[in-house]
Amino acid sequence: MPLLSQNKRIERVNSTAELFSRFPHLKDGAQQFVSRTAEPVDPKHLLYIQQREFAVTTPADNSVSILGSDDATTCHLVVLRHTGSGVTCLAHCDGSSTWTEVPLIINAVTSSSSSSTVKDGRLELHLVGGFDDDRRISHSLSLNILAAFHKQKEEIHLETCCITDMNDVIKEGIHRPVVYGIGVNVKTGHVFPASFTCRGPAEELRSARTFSGGEMVEVYDSARELVKIDPCRWTPNEDMAFWLTQDDETILQYLSTSPYAEPPHFVHHIKSTIQFLLEHPTADALFPDDQPQFYSRMEDGRWKRV
């Protein structure tokens, strides 16, 4: 089935400019979206999604009210929601494997929705991320994500499309994203620009998995309301210590897809991830008996390992 907007089929496009030219209401919606101030999200209600992760939950979840993610420069943040069941997914896609990631996202929502007593409704899609970067990484990812959703058998309605050229601003002569992060209220389906002070639980472990080449994974068991981190693998690499001695500019140039557009904490995040990998040359001891790590929401709102 096709990707739709206002019940009109979205054919394959060769550029995001062509998409917004054909569907000016999407352009208007993107302009409204970037004009909004990022809302700070209370960590007590948040499940934070890191790069190459996704999570799915329902309005009945007592532990999570907001799914959120940020630090998206060339990356895209994808929200898919079934309007009948309220089942909601948020994914942080970096282009590493778009054509396999999109079916994972759709299956996660449709399988959870099929078990719901509410059958009526439709799948609604919200895309936010990217900017007009010099290497056009954002542009390619935008087109690939749209094409991947277009190829699925399900009928999907594109509601928000704040991507690439519509999420771009020039500051001091440098292109940057306007919106770096979003949240989605799983009770209402409201999608909004967002900022976060907490990116856990197990922030460094999850970052290490992605930094070491891990593929897209689901990080939440909504039936048990537990964050679930499956066993992952990496090999010892003492050469990484080299990066801890480098200045910020060098790290940005070599370890970022968009060195002039990264948020201020990017270098610290990279160094803390590398330090974690050096302190844990393999992940074996982090997953005793090859079992996942689980985290439960405590009464004070923190995630605690269980």
Q: For the segment 109-165, what is each residue's pLDDT rounded down to a tens digit?
A: 998 877 656 668 999 999 999 999 999 999 999 999 999 999 999 999 999 999 999
Q: Output the CA torsion 256→260→261→262 (10° steps).
A: 50
CATH architecture of 3-200+214-230+290-296: 2-Layer Sandwich (3.30)
Query: Where exactly are the structural domains of the chain?
Result: 3-200+214-230+290-296
Bridge partners for 46 per DSSP: 66
167-217 pLDDT, tens per residue? 999 999 999 999 999 999 999 999 999 999 999 899 999 999 999 999 999
Mean pLDDT of 235-263: 91
- Residue 179 contacts residue 189 (beta carbons within 8 Å): no
Looking at the chain, the whole-number percentage of residues with pLDDT higher than 70 is 98
Mean pLDDT of 65-82: 97
The amino acid occupying position 96 is: S
Can you give the pLDDT at residue 120?
A: 85
Sequence-distant (≥ 6) Cβ neighbours of residue 170 within 8 angstroms: 176
Residue 33 and residue 259: Cα distance in Å, rounded? Answer: 25
Average confidence score pLDDT of the chain: 94
DSSP string, 120-174: ---EEEEEEE----TT-HHHHHHHHHHHHHHTSSS-EEEEEEEEGGGGEEEETTE
What pTM does this model have? 0.95
